[in-house]
Amino acid sequence: MCGIVGYVGERRAAPVVLDGLRRLEYRGYDSAGVAVIAEGELRSVRRVGFVAALEAAVPANLPGHTGIGHTRWATHGGVTEANAHPHLDSTNRIAVCHNGIIENHSVLRARLEEEGVVFRSETDTEVLAHLISKFYTGDPEAAVRQTLGHLQGTWGIAVIFADHPGLIVAARNGSPLVVGKGEGETFIASDPHALAAYTRQVVYLEDRDIVTIRATGWTVSRLDGAGVSRGVELLGEEWTSEGRGDFSHHMLKEIHEQPESLARCLLGRVVPDEGGARLGGLDLSPRDIAAIRHVRVLGCGTSFHAGLVGAAAMEGLARIPATAEIASEFRYRNPVVAPDDIFFAISQSGETADTLGAVREVQIKGGSVLGVVNVVGSSIARSCGRGVYVHSGPEIAVASTKAFTSQVAAMLVASLSFARTRVLGPHEGKAFGEELLSVPSRVAEWIGSEAPGLMDAVELCTQGKFVFFLGRGVSHAVALEGALKLKEVAYIPCMAYPAAEMKHGPIALLDKRTPVVVVVPDDVMRDKILSSVQEVRARGARVIVVHTEGDEAAKRLADVSIAVPRSSTLISPLFTVLPLQLLAFRAGLALGRDIDRPRNLAKSVTVE
Ligand code: G6P
């Protein structure tokens, strides 16, 4: 969703800010803007649409070495240029970019209007510009601090003052902000990805921090005025990887990156010699693990699907009762949280508002929650305080692919670790660990030989009325993920069902024009799923079967058959999801969709 970038230093600010905004495009937005301090004045340009439109509108050689920029995903007020950020005060001397929601903005707006302020937008953010202006008597930080004292809600803000070239004041409360330290230049951004091309040295701000940034450094204080120091951290090298390389789309690149992202996730964590796994970040002793009564996994979208696999592994391998739940539902149902439950919150971005809300609910109720997160230093990672980083590296395409497989892998490693403590002997643990470690190279081999059958499957799916996805157990989670991908990327209506449940209703929808994708690895449920395939075929539907290589019976039942490497059941999602990711990608391509930036979606959903 919304993104912020700010720069102060030797370079011209506008190109740096625009470049940062381009790097944030993946988050999803509908308008963008930039403001710089040039020759003692604020120069601001805003446009509806993509950053490219903004770039075309910003004068070449716009001077000024201090600037801020924003990509907006509309919440308060329509998608118009007037509502795009930065917002200026009435004197045009102060510019503000804001992420988050000011909940008491209407009261503040009414008060300011009574005082004669004329508003130029429908946004909640504009009250910030006018309030800062009202409180400004020459000290930028003091004016921002006083303003924030009147706000209810969430904010990540960056503010510049025409009177103070060479200075940005920024503040965070519920919306992430990170300072980037360069040589004689300093950056601010809502997402470290925007900075990775310029610096790997970053400082994560905490809620209720205010930071004043200059080219030569910064000072952080708390909202109440107390001084505080925040350490510089080094961004992982994977975050500096850029662009699409030789790939036409980020989604395709990320699908192909899975061998490396999986290897990074497993590296040093699976220890076959001990038949177990080490996840230091969980900070759980064997005694703590032995005392767990129930594992509960929370997440949204793709992360929830990874959670379903994780819960199945916790129960199947570690023999701990386990469930997965959609975070947005969990947070508002006043859930019972027992002291010997352990929660995992799964999130690629670490910023999903619903997942963060669920984490807080668990914590309020005295529960322990561990993060399974990709973005280092993100809000969920910081809120949980402990957990597992999945190390997928930046995922730019809105539709999640490599983060899903790494989330699954991380949950499998955690399950192995818990299982080894509770029920598994060294030999069984070793076998599972070795199989896990073999996954990256086998995924590489499979991806390298693009699956025969895939394009036939694409043809069936793009010509069908809608598409059914069926599976059982962990393959039902894969079916859900395959259906989500096809909806997100190709806008094809789809439905995923546990295969046996289909006969209790959805079967009424089947006819010749409803392709059915069945995920059927060769495991204990195979024969039962193949019976469901027979039922589907009997209704005239065309069947695309994703099966284990060498499974001739499954192949014979299929109109289109796609084989994946053999694996044990709990590991199978790391293979069976691959053709479904490619199916969505190829179907989106065939239908001319904007694959990396599907309509209406945001990569990181920071509002409820
Ligand atoms: C958005 C994205 C999905 C993603 C979900 C959860 O809806 O479009 O692709 O799965 O958020 O995101 P998270 O960052 O928490 O994994």
Please spell the DSSP secondary structure of 386-418, one letter per residue: SEEE-------SSS-SHHHHHHHHHHHHHHHHH
Please check whether residues 161 and 309 belong to one and the same domain.
no
- Greatest mean pLDDT among 121-125, 463-467, 482-486 lies in 482-486
Q: Which of 240, 269, 288 is the last residue of a domain?
A: 240
Q: Is residue 414 part of a domain?
A: yes
Question: Which phi and psi (to 5°) does residue 285 adopt?
Answer: -80, 160
Q: Is residue 156 part of a domain?
A: yes
- CB-ligand 1 contact for 352 (6 Å cutoff): yes
Please check whether residues 24 and 115 belong to one and the same domain.
yes
Determine if residue 234 is left, alpha or beta; phi over 0 gives left, psi from -120 to 50 gives alpha, anything else beta: beta
Q: How far is the CA of 605 from the centre of ligand 1 (A)?
A: 7
- CB-ligand 1 contact for 302 (6 Å cutoff): yes
How many domains in the chain? 3
Q: Is residue 98 part of a domain?
A: yes
Q: How far is the CA of 421 from the centre of ligand 1 (A)?
A: 32
Q: Is residue 8 part of a domain?
A: yes
Q: Is residue 602 part of a domain?
A: no
Residue-averaged pLDDT of the chain: 94
> Which CATH number covers residue 136?
3.60.20.10
> Which CATH number covers residue 548?
3.40.50.10490
Please check whether residues 187 and 74 belong to one and the same domain.
yes
Please check whether residues 293 and 172 belong to one and the same domain.
no
Nearest one of 44, 12, 15, 37 to 161, comparing CA atoms: 37
- CA separation for the pair 316, 115 (Å, rounded): 65
Please check whether residues 417 and 477 belong to one and the same domain.
no
User: Could you give the 3-state DSSP secondary structure of residue 475?
Assistant: helix
Residues labelled catalytic: 2, 603
Nearest one of 360, 311, 363 to 339, comparing CA atoms: 363
Residue pair 32/80 in contact by the 8 Å Cβ criterion: no
Q: How far is the CA of 534 from the centre of ligand 1 (A)?
A: 35
- CA separation for the pair 366, 57 (Å, rounded): 52
Please check whether residues 29 and 131 belong to one and the same domain.
yes
Please check whether residues 64 and 182 belong to one and the same domain.
yes
Q: State pLDDT tens for residues 85-141.
A: 999 999 999 999 999 989 999 999 999 999 999 999 999 999 999 999 999 999 999
Please check whether residues 463 and 397 belong to one and the same domain.
no
Q: What is the dihedral of CA 453, 454, 460, 462, to 10 degrees?
A: -170
Please state whether beta strands 186-189 and 168-173 pair in parallel, antiparallel, or not at all (unpaired).
unpaired
Please check whether residues 194 and 304 belong to one and the same domain.
no
Residue pair 5/194 in contact by the 8 Å Cβ criterion: yes
Domain that holds residue 56: 3-240
Average pLDDT over residues 442-454: 90
DSSP 153: B
Q: Which of 414, 448, 482 is the last residue of a domain?
A: 448
Average pLDDT over residues 130-157: 96
Q: Is residue 228 part of a domain?
A: yes
Q: Is residue 276 part of a domain?
A: yes
Q: Is residue 601 part of a domain?
A: no
Please check whether residues 432 and 530 belong to one and the same domain.
no
- CB-ligand 1 contact for 348 (6 Å cutoff): yes
Question: Which phi and psi (to 5°) does residue 337 adopt?
Answer: -120, 115
Q: Which of 240, 275, 297 is the last residue of a domain?
A: 240
**Greater confidence, 76 or 576?**
576
* 301 CA: nearest ligand 1 atom: 10
Q: Which residues does 248 contact at the CB level (< 8 Å), separation at least 6?
A: none
Please state whether beta strands 94-99 and 294-299 pair in parallel, antiparallel, or not at all (unpaired).
unpaired
Residue 486 has pLDDT above 90, yes or no: yes
Average pLDDT over residues 462-480: 95
Q: State pLDDT tens for residues 205-230.
A: 999 999 999 999 999 999 999 999 99
Please check whether residues 77 and 179 belong to one and the same domain.
yes
What's the CA angle centered on 439, arms 434 and 445, to 5 degrees?
A: 135
Say which range, 118-132, 294-308, 382-396, 591-605, has the weakest mean pLDDT: 591-605
pTM above 0.75, yes or no: yes
* 403 CA: nearest ligand 1 atom: 16
Please check whether residues 553 and 437 belong to one and the same domain.
no
- CB-ligand 1 contact for 605 (6 Å cutoff): yes
